Chain A
Amino acid sequence: EDQVTQSPEALRLQEGESSSLNCSYTVSGLRGLFWYRQDPGKGPEFLFTLYSAGEEKEKERLKATLTKKESFLHITAPKPEDSATYLCAVPEGGSEKLVFGKGTKLTVNP
């Protein structure tokens, strides 16, 4: 069964303190890995899709990378507005069903 594990569960940073979130996955024939941001009480907001090992994508202070077993979401010089839960997900099998991790709750203190 496809599994997605995210770590840490929660992360507190000071404004400007860079760090990384991890997403490890077990899936045969990876067809993409998705990163989403979710604010409290809201739906997930799409950030990135990565398709192959070695691929990197950037958006403002966020950079996502992918290896054969895991993905990292690097946050450079975070600001309080980056506080949210970050979810990663992979498509299962031959469908568009997404299997999600439990997320990492990021808090950035001013």
Chain B
Amino acid sequence: ETGVTQSPTHLIKTRGQQVTLRCSSQSGHNTVSWYQQALGQGPQFIFQYYREEENGRGNFPPRFSGLQFPNYSSELNVNALELDDSALYLCASSSTAGGFGNTIYFGEGSWLTVV
């Protein structure tokens, strides 16, 4: 049990629609990252939020956006969904208080299917 919770666990959307995924980070963790994992691949970094500010972004288009709230929970929003967006979306939290090399804990993910 990592203390990182994600919702919803599964959802199906139609191409062109918009989706919002939610994440509650582990208590005491002020850094949240989002990853996309396609079948048979390792997770790919989307972006990271630290104290409500975006703190790094991977090679994903602007239609992928996010928010972090004062309680450090986070949302991932994807607009204009495409079929290739079908994947497992993972939220990860960590604490930067200890400096580099902090353990990063993942939630169980949200399965998104775009039809």
What residues of chain A have their CB less than 8 Å away from a CB belonging to chain B? 4, 31-32, 34, 36, 41-46, 49, 51, 87, 89, 91-92, 95-103
Contact = CB atoms under 8 A, between A and B. Distances in A.
B8 interface: no
A100 B42 contact: yes
Interface string B46-81: 001000000110100000000000000000000000
Interface string B21-51: 0000000000101010000111111001000
Contacts of A99: 45
B96 A102 contact: no
A96 B104 contact: yes
B94 A96 contact: yes
B102 interface: yes
Contact of A44 (B43, B45, B100): B43
A110 B35 CA distance: 34
